[in-house]
Each structure stands twice: as C-alpha cells, then as structure tokens.
Structure 1
Amino acid sequence: MARQRPVGTITRGTTNPNRLRRCDRWIAGPQGWRLRRATTPPVVVDLGYGASPITAVELHDRLRRVRPDVEVVGIEIDPDRVAAGRPLERAGLTFRLGGFEVPLDGGTRPTVVRAFNVLRQYAEGDVADAWALVQARLAPDGLLVDGTCDEIGRRASWVAVDASGPLSLTISLRMGGLEQPSDVAERLPKSLIHRNVPGEPVHAFLTDLDDAWARSAPQSSWGARQRFLAMCDDVRRRWPLLDGPSRWRLGEVTVDWSAVAPTTR
C-alpha cells in the first residue's frame, strides 16, 4: 500500500527556544490529568514544529515531569525538518514525516496534539477541516491545542478542542510591560483572529479585559501580577472563566468557548 501523502502545507517554520513555554505549562498543569489518566504511556504530538526541533525537545522535558513515560512525537511535513530532528531522538522522543492526518504506528491515538503557529498560515475556512482530521485521531480524553504566539512567546493564545468540538480559549501574557490585554489580538488563533471586530464575541471579551485592566490600575502599586488578578476577578462576573487565581498569577486566563465563538455568517 502506498504511503499516504501528508495533509497540509509547509509553514514558514519560524521558532525559538522557550517560545511555547506558556502552552507547555498549561498542558502540564490544568491538562496534566489527561496524561496521568492514560493506562499506557501517553503520546503527545508536536505538530508542525518548524525549522528547529527545539519545541519538541522542550515539550518532552516538561511533560515527563508529569508523566515520566510520556512519548513525544514531532511531526513535520517537510522532510528536511524531520531529518534535522532525528539526531535529537532519545527514549520517549521521536520525529517523523506527516501532517494533520497525524500518522502514528499501530493505530496509536495521541493524548494531546499541540499545533502552534501552524493554522495561522491557512485560510479561516480551512480550520474546521484541519480540526476534524486531528479530532478523529485523538485518544479518549484526547485534546488538540491550536494556538499562536509571538516570536519569543510573550503573547500567546490557544483553543482547546476535544472530540466533541472546541472547549475554551486561553490567553497567556507576559505581565511585565503589558499595556493592555488586547495586545494579544494579533496572536489570536486563526479561528478568531479575523473575528476581532465589533459585534463579535471575542472582540467584546478583549474589550472587557481592557476595560477591567484600566479599572485595576490602582493595583499596579503592588505589581502587574496583582493588577492582572484584579482584572480577572472583575471579568469573571460577566464571563464564564474556567480557571482561577493560580492561573491568573501566571498571566493566563481561560474562557469557555461558547462565550467567544464566532457568530455564524
């Protein structure tokens, strides 16, 4: 049987060490139960890791603190990028050619698929089909994390998607030097970035974050962290936030997808 052609297109491949630390911290933290619950070594895929395999190496380092037997597989559609990763393979870390079809041996189903800065380079209309391909491959309790961040990981956002559909939107920001939370707007996932306009729920959410950030300015006397905490405490009165102070302290806030999902048009 002929090998299936990888599904997707080659991305620009830009990456940097520690670029995805915010998302890794979230996978290892609030989503760590998915790894711990697995009855066999969980498989986590770094899909479209780019020109450097460093993000897959870092992901493996971080997740094996949660589950020492975790297996991380870096998947890239570019053969040269796969070849660049092969010298770094070790127990629990491998690299292979592929795309959104998520090719794994023996019908293995991944517990987490992290696809960062991949769909950003696609059309908005391509997102649903890409999600569906990955969703069909997920293990029970499996999760697709579709996200975007800036070049050094100071501003990031991601959508969590399970077999039933999107669950949440997370925004994670470096608090030092933060002017306003909506600075993340240009790093929204592809499913939302073109919806940041008046009349769309995600625009209303970012606007409310900015307003609450402004109202919380007096808390900055005790530091940006206290201001961020106050902002989130304000916003949770109007929006279905799914996390609490332990995550807000990290500059991270997660809202239920139903509250920010694009309007149909």
Structure 2
Amino acid sequence: MSRGVPVVGAVTRGTTNPNRLRRMDRWIAATHGAELRRADHPVVVDLGYGAAPWTAVELLHRLRTVAPRTRVVGVEIEPARVAAARPYEREGLSFRHGGFEIPLPGRPALVRAANVLRQYDEAEVAAVWQRLCARLAPAAPGRGSPGGLLVEGTCDEIGRRHVWVALGPEGPRTVTFATRLGSLERPSDLAERLPKALIHRNVPGEPVHAFLRDFDRAWAAAAPYASYGARQRWIRTVRDLAADWPVTDGPARWRQGEVTVRWEALAPRG
C-alpha cells in the first residue's frame, strides 16, 4: 500500500505455472510494443500474479525484447506472496502489495490481469474494469498514442487456451481468442475460458454464443484444409468468419492460433 490507500479486491487462488501466459504476452508484445517504445518510462503491472512470480519474470523478458526500457511491477493482494517474490527482484522488476487500486505513483502503460476476475460475480466486472481503466496512461492523439492498455482474461492451467478482453482508457476495445491449435477439436472449446464478462453469456440470444456457433460452422466447412495442418484450417476458418464478424487482425496473428474481434460485436445484450 502507498499513502494509506486501502487495498481493493479479494485474495485469489494464486494458481500459476511457468509459461502459462505466453500467448497473452506475445500478443501484448506484438500489438502494444509500439506504445511501450513510445513511452519515456513505460511501467507495466502484472496484477494478481499469484503464489509464485513466474508470470511477472516472463512478462519482463518478453516485453523487453520489443521495448527495452519497460519496467514490470508485480502487484499482489496477499502479503505473503509479495514477500516470497521479493528475492526475484532485479533491475526493471519489483513487487508490491496491493489490488485494483494499483499502488503506483504514476499511470501504467499496461495492466495485465490474468485469471483474476474468475472468482468474482459478473455484476462486479464493470466496476473493476472502470477502476483499472482510470489508472491507465491517458491517450494522446496528437502524439499518435491510444493510451494505456488493460488486458483482462482467462486461460487454462498450462496456457493452451486463452480468451481476453483488451481495454483502453475509454473502455473495452477487442476480444482475443488464442489456442494451441494441436489441442483444439472445435473453436467453441474456448468457451470454457471466456472471461467473466462473457462466460455466463454463452447462451442462445447472446452475441458471443452466435459468434462461437458461426466459428464452429466455419471450422467444419474448412475441414478439407486439415490435410495441410491445423494452422491452415484455422486460417481458412477465420478468413471465412471475417465475412460476417468484425475481425481486427490478419494472417500474421491467425498463424499463431489467434483471432481478435471488436468488443462491440460480442458485448452482452443489455
């Protein structure tokens, strides 16, 4: 805590594994690296890193390959986890006790909150998003800066399947689905990793349900491409999906087993 500001949030399970967040990290490096390079002193927060500091250590390494001045601060609400992480501190990496208030003096260029909101109620998500987005570095259109980024989502225990929402200071922007293609039977397998804002909305009548239905249909139609490998089948699937859904990325990301869609297309009704 800093300046007596109360810690906001609840203690999570703390489950973590090395390389669990590699897909999310690589996406952040590819899509937000330019913004990190543009900042004079880019600070990145790994919020709720868990019982061990592996994800924060790996995030620093991956982001410094694209933005060498990046500093990572791991923030945890459980004091014992902060104490356990302190021996791993190094130049550019530190750990602090805190929660959604983000106990830093300035505004970070990036906040990553992976598997943090899983235990919260859906009704609580909007307020948490709003609070975290308010802490991001502001947009500076005259300098070509879209502002800071909040990446909030969920993955499985070994990082094969992820879904995350990317938000700027203005609110949600996109939803990204990412998977290890060799482990995928159908795209709707990713439904179990939808972030809290969407996971209970995977029901008929909701946009995310329609999206996953169309994703599965495009996957089935692309079955002949499986003879060229799962990657080629995924690329063809996403290319067809993009005819009806606002896909924001291209083949370079699709090849990684990813697809990103505008938030407005999947946002819950009402």
Deviation at 1:30, TM superposition (A): 1.4
Alpha-carbon deviations, 1:77-116, whole Å to 9, x = none?
0001101110000010000000000011xx3110000000
Secondary structure at the counterpart of residue 170 of structure 1? strand
* Separation in 2, partners of 1:129, 1:186: 23
Within 5 Å, which residues of 2 pair with 1:23-38?
23-38=24-39
Aligned counterparts of 1:88 and 1:220: Cα–Cα separation in 2: 44
Matched residue, 2:42:
42
Structure 1 residues not aligned, in runs of 5+: none
Provide closer, same or farther for how the CA distance between residues 2 and 34 of structure 1 changes in structure 2, counting only shifts above 3 A.
Answer: closer
Quick check: 1:9 aligned with 2:7? no
For residues 234 and 117 of structure 1, the distance between their equivalents in structure 2, rounded to whole angstroms, comes to 30
Aligned residue type for 2:202: N
The secondary structure found in structure 2 opposite 1:29 is helix
1:114-129 paired onto structure 2 within 5 Å: 114-129=112-127
Which residue of the partner structure matches residue 141 of structure 2? none
Select 2:136's aligned residue among 135, 138, 146: 138
8 Å CA contact 2:154, 2:163 repeated in 1? yes
Task: Count residues with an aligned counterpart.
Answer: 261
Q: Which position in structure 1 is the counterpart of 2:253?
A: 247
Whole-angstrom distance in 2 between the partners of 1:36 and 1:213: 37
Structure 2 counterpart of 1:202, from 193, 205, 208: 208
Deviations 1:126-169 (A, max 9, x none): 10111111111110210111110000000001001111110000
The CA distance in 1 between the partners of 2:110 and 2:214, in whole Å, is 31
- What residue identity is the alignment partner of 1:73? V
For residues 185-243 of structure 1, give each alpha carbon's deviation from its aligned partner in whole angstroms, at most 9, with x where no partner exists.
11100000000001000001111111100000000000000000000000000000000
Q: Partners in 2 of 1:262 and 1:177 — Cα distance?
A: 28
- State the partner residue of 1:217: 223
Runs of 4+ in structure 1 displaced over 4 angstroms?
A: none
Between the aligned partners of 2:174 and 2:159, the Cα distance in structure 1 is 20
Match of 2:85 in 1: 85
Instruction: Call closer, same or farther: CA 1:24–1:263 in 2, change over 3 Å.
Output: same
1:224-235 equivalent positions in 2, closer than 5 A: 224-235=230-241
TM-score normalized by structure 2? 0.95
Deviation at residue 5 of structure 1 after TM alignment = 2.0
What is the letter of the counterpart of residue 245 of structure 2? W
d(CA) in 2 for partners of 1:2 and 1:102? 12
Cα distance 1:64–1:161, how it changes in 2: closer, same or farther (>3 A)?
Answer: same
- Amino acid corresponding to residue 245 of structure 1 in structure 2: P
Q: 1:156 aligns with which of 162, 183, 188?
A: 162
CA distance in 2, matches of 1:123, 1:37: 36
**Aligned equivalent of 1:181, options 182, 187, 190:** 187
Q: Deviations over 1:62-82 (max 9, x none)?
A: 001111110000000000110
Give the C-alpha shift of residue 2 in structure 1.
Answer: 6.2
SS at match of 2:31: coil
C-alpha distance in 2, partners of 1:146/1:36? Answer: 22
- 1:169 is aligned, of 170, 175, 182, to 175
3-state SS in 2 of match to 1:126 = helix
Equivalent residue letter for 2:123: G
C-alpha distance in structure 2 between counterparts of 1:92 and 1:19, whole Å = 21
Match of 2:20 in 1: 19
With the length of structure 1 as denominator, give the TM-score of the two structures: 0.97
One-letter code aligned to 1:153: G
Output the amino acid matched with 2:14. Answer: G
Q: Percent identity?
A: 64
